[in-house]
Amino acid sequence: MVSRQGDWKWAEISPILPNGGDDRLGWVWGKKRQFSISSAYQSRRQNRNTNGNRVWQVIRDFCGILRVRTLLWLICKGRLMTNEERVRQYITADESCGVCGARMESLDHDFRKCLVAKSTWTNVQQPDGFPSVSEDWDLLFGSILWSLWTRRNKAIFNPDAVEVEGIMQRSRRLLLEAEQAVSSWMDSGMSICGGVIRDENFTWLSCFSMAVGICSIMDAELWGVLGGLGLAWDLGLRRVVLEKLAVGSGPCVSRKKSSCRWFGQAGLESPLWNSSFLIPPAELQDLY
């Protein structure tokens, strides 16, 4: 079709060219070669790698604590500030692990190869050491990653702190808190928030619950923050660590525990204000 000089061989090309005027640009994925948003969208959907995007679907459907979902997103995007990433951004010159002293602290090292991570995943594989229900594995997995990351941060930024909870114990507590945050009243549209106050040794101090009407998850969460901080102030607590929870609907709705039902009932009995309990209710025995 092209001569040695680089010119078109029009005598050979002309018989196969359609008749109808001059050449013009066309959109191959659209009807009549015309561009449209729908054709571009369909082309994008057909060409994308569905296997590569499954991880984002898993994160989107994760029904646990929102801060854990955010951590999963940061891990998959490679945005966590490990020492490897901090060296890349010229924040530090030391890329070693601050927990076990390994030469490089990467995401893979923090969550798989670090001594603390290795021992944690080994314990997960032992049924006698940490039994778990299969339907809770997504929440458990996220809770373990969160506990590993916060344990790493505490070891670096607060090395004198004394750990009163192991990785597995903290992960189990986060799993229970995520489950109790989902109430059987979610289908009705009534939003209920509640919380538990513990001291530095995780000893029970008080709890509260209140109904806030029909609102978004974020609004209910903010009401819970307000109620929790107000109760802490009334108890004379001036230095507190706030751990706020919010979970979406979906598979989690089926996980109803006694604590979940108790928070919902207590909240409905005290609409638009909170009820506090200085003595741990029997229904919340799985939380203390």
How far, in Å, CA of 72 to CA of 184, rounded?
27
> SS3 for 191?
strand
How far, in Å, CA of 84 to CA of 88, rounded?
6
What single-letter DSSP state applies at residue 109? I
Q: How many residues does the chain have?
A: 288
Q: Are 172 and 242 in contact (CB under 8 A)?
A: no
Going by pLDDT thresholds of 50, 70 and 90, the confidence category of residue 175 is confident
Phi-psi region of 133 (alpha: psi -120 to 50; beta: other; left: phi over 0): beta
How far, in Å, CA of 69 to CA of 62, rounded?
7
Residue with tokens 């066309």: 26
**Which helix (H) or strand (E) is 105 found in, with range?**
none
Per-domain residue ranges of the chain: 10-47, 51-177, 181-284
pTM of this prediction?
Answer: 0.54
Q: Report the first-to-last Cα separation within the chain, whole angstroms.
A: 81
Q: Is residue 131 over pLDDT 70? A: no
Residue with tokens 């603390």: 116
Q: Taking the C-alpha atoms of 253, 258, 262 and 264 in order, what is their torsion angle to the nearest 10 degrees? A: 10
- 272 closest CA partner among 214, 185, 189, 232: 214
More confident residue, 276 or 232: 232
219-274 per-position pLDDT tens digit: 778 888 888 888 888 888 888 887 765 544 334 434 434 455 555 555 445 544 45
How far, in Å, CA of 114 to CA of 99, rounded?
8
